[in-house]
Homo-oligomer: A and B are copies of this chain.
Amino acid sequence: MSDMGVTYPKGFLAAGIAGGIKKNGAKDIALVFSPSPCTCAGVFTRNIVKGHSLQLSQKHAAEGVAKAVFINSGNANACIGEQGNYDALAICEMLGSALGCPPNMILPGSTGVIGVPLPMGKIARGINKALDHMSEDGGAAAAQAIMTTDTHPKESGAEIIIDDKPVRIGAMAKGSGMIYPNMATMISVITTDIKIKKHQAKALIKEVADLTFNRVCVDGDTSVCDMVLFMANGKSNVSYDQCPEQFKNALVDVCTKISRMLAKDGEGATKLLNIDIKGANTAEDAKLIAHAIAKSPLCKTAAFGQDANWGRLLTAAGYSGAQFDPNLCDVYIGDLITCKSGTAIIFDEEAALEILKKDEITYTIDLNQGTESYNMWTCDMSVEYIHINADYRT
């Protein structure tokens, strides 16, 4: 647990409380609030099916100004019909009224089971409880409240000093199943006290999500409720224009840490896998190969089994849709070369096992055909993944 979450930047309050939505009594309502209006931006799932809360958040975020983020876990508020839209709006109205702002300055999010109406009585009581508990130390509780099958909360933060003034970034995220890139791959809230314009925030979060969140894969399934929300309240009195590179680097750093946490805490995961594709003719080829490996149940189960089965890596590359000559490819497990120029070589199986026993492994394919590269973070696929997902609803 870090103390560098969403309340790390100046001027943010947060709460995480148990509202009775989750059957096990765990925290399930998170609130993040900045009394000063924030520039906001977001990236949202590209799934055609979209949760009702997410749809409203997307609409509100498009206006570029927000004061609060509300997230409940335990229920996705998805595939409910018109009632789902009313419920999301009711949440914004309740919170707007309590926080003294219009409902369109509230960004709602929901995550959990699809197709069950939100328990609005519990939500209403939960909102009041969350308002009572809001504090400058509430980041950690909020990070706990957005968890679903996560085994631990995920927070990160960074501080940079610009003209002797501290600028801070804080982040929390949830998500360990139904995670696949090319959208905002989970729910994450990023707060900062930098001053930034709406169009800058929008472009920045899109660019950084492509470098970080969109490179995480747990199971290839793209959720209907996933989003990254970015809230900047300007309280540092430092403007983004003073330090665009420094701020971006700090944001990439925070989002990279969060992304690695998400992959490492993938459902049932025992290992973080870094997929590193180099020497491609085009970046798109490298990306296709990285995606194919990151999604392959065979590559992921071999990692779980600590089996140096590099043939599955090359096989996944081969069917990825990328264009390349397999006879030029080298395949590495950690720093151990296992296949040279597309041909098996004799390698030290014991050295391979030592590498595969670790809780973080890098798989590298060097195509030796160009200069383009791409990387992804994923996890192994274990027996526990099946247990978690075979009985999720019940």
Contacts and interface: CB of A to CB of B under 8 A. Distances in A.
A297 interface: yes
A301 B113 contact: no
Interface string A54-94: 00000000000000000000001011110000000000000
Contacts of A221: 296-298, 312, 315-316, 319
Interface string A316-351: 111100111010000000000011011110000000
Nearest to A343: B81
Interface in A278-320: 295-298, 301-302, 304-305, 307-312, 314-319
Interface string A369-394: 00000000000011101110111111
Given A48-B326, A383-B386, A385-B386, A393 B307 contact: yes
A382 B381 CA distance: 12
A317 to B, nearest CB: 7
A104 B244 CA distance: 65
A148 interface: no
B116 A344 contact: yes
Given A311-B115, A314-B79, A305 B391 contact: yes
A115 B307 contact: no
B307 A394 contact: yes
Given A79-B339, A385-B297, A222 B305 contact: no
A390 B309 CA distance: 10
Contact of A344 (B115, B304, B386): B115
A311 B389 contact: no
A11 interface: no
Contacts of A114: 309, 311-312, 314-315, 344
A298 B387 contact: no
Contacts of A317: 48-49
Contacts of A309: 114, 392-393
A177 interface: yes
Interface of A: 46-50, 76, 78-81, 113-117, 177-178, 180, 219-224, 295-298, 301-302, 304-305, 307-312, 314-319, 322-324, 326, 338-339, 341-344, 381-383, 385-387, 389-394
Given A114-B315, A220-B296, 18 more contacts: A48-B319, A48-B323, A49-B314, A49-B326, A49-B342, A79-B314, A79-B342, A79-B344, A80-B344, A114-B312, A114-B344, A178-B315, A224-B315, A301-B386, A301-B390, A305-B392, A307-B391, A383-B387
19 contacts: A48-B323, A49-B342, A81-B341, A114-B314, A115-B311, A115-B339, A116-B344, A220-B220, A221-B298, A222-B319, A223-B315, A224-B315, A297-B385, A301-B390, A305-B389, A305-B392, A305-B394, A381-B386, A383-B383
